[in-house]
Structure 1
Amino acid sequence: MPHIPMSSLLRQKMFMRFWLARLTGIMANQMLMVAVGWQMYDLTGSAWALGLVGLFQFVPALLMTLPAGHAADRWHRGKIFAACMALQAVVAATMAFSAWQHSTSRELILGLSILLGMARAFQMPAQQAITPRLVPPSMLQRAVTLSSSGMEFAVITGPALGGLIYMAGATAVYASCTALLLVSTGLTLGVRYAHQANQNAVSWRSTLAGLAFVWRQKVLLGALSLDLFAVLLGGATALLPIYAKDILHTGPQGLGLLRAAPSVGALLMSLALMRWPLHRRVGHKLLAAVAVFGLATLAFGLSTHIGLSMLALALAGAADNVSVVIRLTIMQLDTPDDIRGRVSAVNSLFIGASNQLGEFESGALAAAVGPVASVVIGGLGTLAVAALWFKLFPGLAQRDQFENQPRQTELLKS
């Protein structure tokens, strides 16, 4: 067998350590959101209140994500991620104490949602930008797929486990989240890599450099904005407590299964992509995956049977996983490392808008026209976005292979 340099072994060890840290952190976060969503709806009975949880997470993320990307290019990305896990542990511990004291309120949940939004603003650019520092470019697609597999496993087990633990009370769920988030913090603090700090002075120009780079790279702009608008319109996550309680007539356990279902499909798709990586016609496959996501959202919106609803959500998750792998691989390979944190921040901003702002949109629309109509309108909107992006971004639609070499940006040199 050929000798493997120690540096390669060390990089593999660091990647797997960070992979495990992400796994435990995301699992805890999913458990946390199941408990928060159920408690909020139980307290208020309001779709509007569920939407506000997403909005209160999105606003701080909107304000802080671009500066967070600059921070990820200047400081150690692992330490930033660890600090974000620690802050989420504080939120979970606070929720555990309030549940134990029977003092949980709508205002407390919304206030802590702001802290969650701040944590995620710094978490996402750091976790996305660190992976290319831990693996060689030739292994990046597989590393992204493996990371996605771990995330989907966490999103499967987290909600299901959260729903089961909720049977013992909300305090037990929040205490479990706190423990897992502290484990994630400790694992991440042990991650080492050759950190190269960006030496550009902090300014609006340097902070917005990632946004300017994405705007110039039309394929990248098309890929990131496609996910933004597709999930913004088609996401139904915020309405799952309503579907579980009022339409499918199940409890917290059923809600946990519904939240886990998309990740079951995504995990199966991740395993398939690890066995058969994507090589050709990646642009067409990206747009097709978004269209399938829209169709699956329509099926979920019209379903009144929990088995069919879970199947539709699993199909949506599988399609979304294809989109994630293609989008992130293109982003990482087309972006130089000195600006990767800020470009990852732009992607995080788009993801936050599609998820948290999408939750607010779903809740507000459901309050106006009902949950079923809200989800159906969102599914139709996602199909329209896939068709429109085919025309607006022909370079993305015609993208055949992943780039093997990152482009050099002149953005910071001009």
Structure 2
Amino acid sequence: MVQHSPNDTFASLRIAEFRYFVMNSFLITVTLLIQEVILGYELYKITHDPLMLGLVGLAEAIPFIILSLFGGHLADRRDKKRILQWSLLVIILGSVILYFVFQPSVVAKLSTTARLATIYGVLMLIGTAKGFYSPASSSLKPFLVPRELYANSATWYSSFWQAGAIVGPGLAGFFYNWFGFDNTLIVIIVLFVFCFLLLSLIKRKPVPVSNEPMLGLRESLKEGFRFVFKTQIVLYAISLDLFSVLFGGVVAILPVFAEDILHVGAEGLGFLRAAPSVGALLTMAFMTRFPPTQNAWRNMLLAVLGFGVATIVFAFSTNFYLSLIMLALTGAFDSVSVVIRQTILQIFPPDHMRGRVAAVNGIFVSSSNEIGAFESGLLARLLGTVPSVALGGVVTLVVVTYVYARSKELFAVRLN
């Protein structure tokens, strides 16, 4: 048995299968974000309506929420690797459909309404695939590293994800300007194929066996919810991320800031999209040496508080560079809470329940990105872009104050 020291900064990366896993995470994040950025910009050029950008998130969130719990149930009982591969094939299919929808010969035959309906239909297909991919991915990760490396692996996983979130939007702006929309979609399809090959390098893992009697689907899903709601630190960690992302997220309406407020165009949008991840990646690099899991709950509350403040300053900024700095700070603060939450979700759930707990987390946190995108677009239309973002930051501060008052006993929890 190989011994791994948790004090070794690169301990998790010395495990080959974990390397393949985080490389896939990096590449699929890059690819999905390239597609999301160019599609959002193209939609805004077609409609000039921020609500249409919000509907992008809603189209993915609806099937994700409906199917994620079943996806978690499936991940606890089936081969996680196979679920990931089949889900990725569906995502590739969606990208192929998008490519054909934007071909000039098809555009000439379809009305704008029909074209938009097809685009949102494809986004729902991708959301369906994510409903299975997300819990399978989250529940596979703890089986790739020993328990003593959970905090280290969470930091590295988040670092690769954030690196992808930097590279993706930057490449999106470059590809869009230099290669055009449809040629960029060809690059996206090729990158997804590479993701599939990386997943193929990971060996199949045995399905965990529980001594408890096999439950039906409904009872199985209820068991996952019960675990989350009775485990206070898991519930509050998920809730903090849910409300901060739901109300404080600004990513979906960044095309409005880029086009109408900061006047920086597609390339500027790429920088704005990448800024949170630049801040996050720098913070992640620091956390590989100094993990935030000591005094974890204090650090999580301070991080969400900082996220809300930076969001409010960004809302009122009309300077491109100040806006970049504030977005970088939102990423930095968010990365701290992400590492702590991921460590909590690796330590507390039992092996046979990881898929369902990951699915509950996905519904309350991952889907909050998409629902938050819809909320951002809707409020931007009703209140205006700047007031809607400022209000989201204020709501984040109110939520973190409430959670602080309700969770003081969690300050004693140590995750090391």
TM-score (norm 2): 0.92
> What is the distance in 1 between the residues matched to 2:252 and 2:372?
8
Q: 2:35: which partner in 1?
A: 32
Q: Which of 239, 257, 271 matches 2:271?
A: 257
> What is the distance in 2 between the residues matched to 1:368 and 1:240?
17
> What is the distance in 2 between the residues matched to 1:385 and 1:344?
23
Q: Which of 281, 284, 287 matches 2:298?
A: 284
Q: 2:362: which partner in 1?
A: 348
- Say whether residues 1:57 and 2:88 are aligned partners: no
Q: 2:180: which partner in 1?
A: 169
> What is the distance in 1 between the residues matched to 2:397 and 2:337?
14
Q: 1:218: which partner in 2?
A: 232
- Say whether residues 1:68 and 2:71 are aligned partners: yes
- Say whether residues 1:183 and 2:194 are aligned partners: yes
Describe how 1:55-204 pairs up with structure 2 within 5 A.
55-101=58-104, 103=107, 105-167=115-177, 168-198=179-209, 200-204=214-218
Kept after mapping to 1: 8 A contact 2:293/2:340: no
Task: Quote how far apart the aligned CAs of 1:368 are.
Answer: 0.4
Task: Quote how far apart the aligned CAs of 1:382 are.
Answer: 0.6
Task: Quote how far apart the aligned CAs of 1:53 are.
Answer: 1.1
- Say whether residues 1:317 and 2:327 are aligned partners: no
**Bigger CA drift: 106-115 or 282-291?**
106-115
Task: Name the SS for the 2:138 alignment partner.
Answer: helix
Task: Quote how far apart the aligned CAs of 1:392 are.
Answer: 2.2
Q: Which of 370, 395, 401 matches 2:414?
A: 401
> What is the distance in 2 between the residues matched to 1:395 and 1:118?
38
> What is the distance in 1 between the residues matched to 2:85 and 2:14?
19
Task: Name the SS for the 1:74 alignment partner.
Answer: coil
**Bigger CA drift: 95-104 or 140-149?**
95-104
Q: 1:410: which partner in 2?
A: none
Judged with a 3 Å threshold, the aligned counterparts in structure 2 of structure 1 residues 198 and 243 are, in CA distance, closer, same or farther, namely farther
Which stretches of structure 1, 4 residues or more, deviate above 4 A after TM superposition? 8-11
> What is the distance in 1 between the residues matched to 2:27 and 2:367?
24
> What is the distance in 2 between the residues matched to 1:211 and 1:123?
19
Kept after mapping to 1: 8 A contact 2:20/2:202: yes
Superimposed CA distance per residue, residues 32-80 of structure 1 (whole angstroms, 9 cap, x where no aligned partner): 1001110111111101111111111111111111101011111121221
> What is the distance in 2 between the residues matched to 1:302 and 1:88?
37
Kept after mapping to 2: 8 A contact 1:218/1:395: no
> What is the distance in 1 between the residues matched to 2:209 and 2:95?
34
- Say whether residues 1:19 and 2:30 are aligned partners: no
Percent identity over the alignment is 36
Judged with a 3 Å threshold, the aligned counterparts in structure 2 of structure 1 residues 307 and 12 are, in CA distance, closer, same or farther, namely same
Alignment RMSD: 1.9
Judged with a 3 Å threshold, the aligned counterparts in structure 2 of structure 1 residues 234 and 165 are, in CA distance, closer, same or farther, namely same
Task: Name the SS for the 2:117 alignment partner.
Answer: helix
> What is the distance in 2 between the residues matched to 1:293 and 1:154?
21
Task: Quote how far apart the aligned CAs of 1:288 are.
Answer: 0.5
Kept after mapping to 1: 8 A contact 2:85/2:196: yes
> What is the distance in 2 between the residues matched to 1:289 and 1:350?
19
Kept after mapping to 2: 8 A contact 1:82/1:184: no
> What is the distance in 1 between the residues matched to 2:149 and 2:224?
24
Kept after mapping to 2: 8 A contact 1:70/1:341: yes
Superimposed CA distance per residue, residues 176-201 of structure 1 (whole angstroms, 9 cap, x where no aligned partner): 11111111012112211532245724
> What is the distance in 1 between the residues matched to 2:39 and 2:412?
41
Task: Name the SS for the 1:208 alignment partner.
Answer: helix
Judged with a 3 Å threshold, the aligned counterparts in structure 2 of structure 1 residues 59 and 363 are, in CA distance, closer, same or farther, namely same
Superimposed CA distance per residue, residues 84-105 of structure 1 (whole angstroms, 9 cap, x where no aligned partner): 2222111112212222336282
**Bigger CA drift: 284-293 or 205-214?**
205-214
Task: Quote how far apart the aligned CAs of 1:9 are.
Answer: 10
Gaps of 5+ in 1: 405-414
2:229 counterpart letter in structure 1: W
Describe how 1:372-411 pairs up with structure 2 within 5 A.
372-396=386-410, 398-402=411-415
> What is the distance in 1 between the residues matched to 2:337 and 2:353?
23
2:374 counterpart letter in structure 1: F
Kept after mapping to 1: 8 A contact 2:91/2:129: yes
> What is the distance in 2 between the residues matched to 1:242 and 1:194?
45
- Say whether residues 1:335 and 2:349 are aligned partners: yes
> What is the distance in 2 between the residues matched to 1:159 and 1:87?
23
> What is the distance in 1 between the residues matched to 2:80 and 2:157?
16
1:100 counterpart letter in structure 2: Q
Kept after mapping to 2: 8 A contact 1:61/1:352: no
Superimposed CA distance per residue, residues 354-384 of structure 1 (whole angstroms, 9 cap, x where no aligned partner): 2011111111111001000000000111111
Gaps of 5+ in 2: 4-10
Kept after mapping to 2: 8 A contact 1:235/1:355: yes
2:181 counterpart letter in structure 1: A
Q: 2:381: which partner in 1?
A: 367
Kept after mapping to 1: 8 A contact 2:307/2:333: yes
